[in-house]
């Protein structure tokens, strides 16, 4: 049995770090954010334009990467041979992130993204708070706290209006990992 846990939130809130730490802790796989790879391959940097249609390409790439990485967890599960073991699978970004990004930047969202939100099923969401210090990199767009907090409200709204359990993750990197483990352990027993 595989439990899919998605880590979402505004940029620079520790999503990728938390995914990697959780995968290490539980000795499993995690799916990175496809958008970063796509934008770097396209030569995009902070302030360079990407299009509404780029977001559709990114969404499809994210889903393909998620499905591929899931197959690695399934293979691990088969090799392990214990049908009672529950395997966590951590996903950095899902279609809610794509929806928020699309609506925030372009005031609209591709129908495909919304359809995938309705079709795909996950077992738990971890929503990363904006209380970590901003870390600048070539792709991040919103360093000001007011915008980041506004985006967090978009994510909270998404979580409140869907049925999958979710946990708000806050504080230092170490305390975030502890909070996440506390939220995930019950899913695995």
Q: What is the pLDDT along the chain (189 residues), one digit of tens a residue?
A: 899 999 999 988 999 999 999 999 999 999 999 988 888 887 765 555 788 999 999 999 999 999 999 999 999 888 887 888 899 999 999 999 999 999 999 999 999 999 999 999 999 999 999 998 776 776 656 667 798 999 999 999 999 999 999 999 999 888 999 999 999 999 998
Q: What is the pLDDT of residue 11?
A: 87
Q: Considering only CA atoms, which of 19, 37, 46 is closest in space to residue 125?
A: 19
Q: What is the pLDDT of residue 145?
A: 78
Q: What is the pLDDT of residue 40?
A: 80
Sequence-ordered list of residues with C-beta below 8 angstroms from that of 28, at least 6 positions apart, any chain: 73, 76, 87, 88, 89, 90
H-type helices in the chain, by residue range?
Answer: 15-26, 34-41, 52-80, 95-106, 111-119, 145-160, 173-188
Q: What is the pLDDT of residue 77?
A: 86
Scored b (16 or more CB within 10 A) or e, 130-169 reads bbbeeeeeeeeebeeeeebeebbebbeebbeeeeeebbbb
Structure tokens at 39: 């934008």
| Cα 135 from chain centre | 18
Number of residues written out for the chain: 189
Q: Using CA atoms, how far apart are residues 91 and 15, in angstroms rounded to an integer?
A: 9
Q: What is the pLDDT of residue 81?
A: 75
Q: What is the pLDDT of residue 138?
A: 67
Q: What is the pLDDT of residue 12?
A: 85
The answer to whether residues 88 and 74 touch, using CB atoms and an 8 Å cutoff, is no
Domain boundaries, the chain: 2-188
CATH superfamily for domain 2-188: P-loop containing nucleotide triphosphate hydrolases (3.40.50.300)
Q: What is the pLDDT of residue 9?
A: 94
């Amino acid at each position: 049995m595989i439990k899919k846990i998605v880590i979402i939130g505004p940029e620079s809130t520790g999503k990728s770090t938390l995914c990697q730490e959780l995968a290490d802790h539980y000795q499993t796989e995690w799916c990175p954010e496809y958008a970063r790879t796509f934008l770097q391959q396209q030569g995009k940097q902070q302030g360079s334009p990407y299009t509404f249609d780029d977001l559709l390409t990114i969404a499809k790439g994210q889903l393909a990467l998620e499905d591929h990485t899931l197959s690695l967890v399934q293979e691990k599960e088969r090799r392990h041979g214990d049908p009672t073991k529950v395997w966590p699978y951590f996903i950095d970004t899902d279609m809610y992130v794509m929806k928020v990004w699309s609506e925030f930047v372009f005031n609209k969202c591709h129908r495909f993204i919304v359809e995938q939100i309705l079709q795909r099923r996950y077992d738990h969401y971890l929503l990363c708070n904006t209380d970590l210090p901003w870390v600048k990199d070539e792709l991040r767009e919103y360093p000001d706290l007011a915008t980041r907090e506004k985006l967090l409200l978009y994510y909270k709204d998404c979580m409140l209006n869907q049925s999958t359990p979710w946990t708000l993750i806050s504080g230092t990197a170490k305390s975030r990992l502890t909070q996440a483990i506390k939220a995930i352990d019950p899913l695995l027993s």
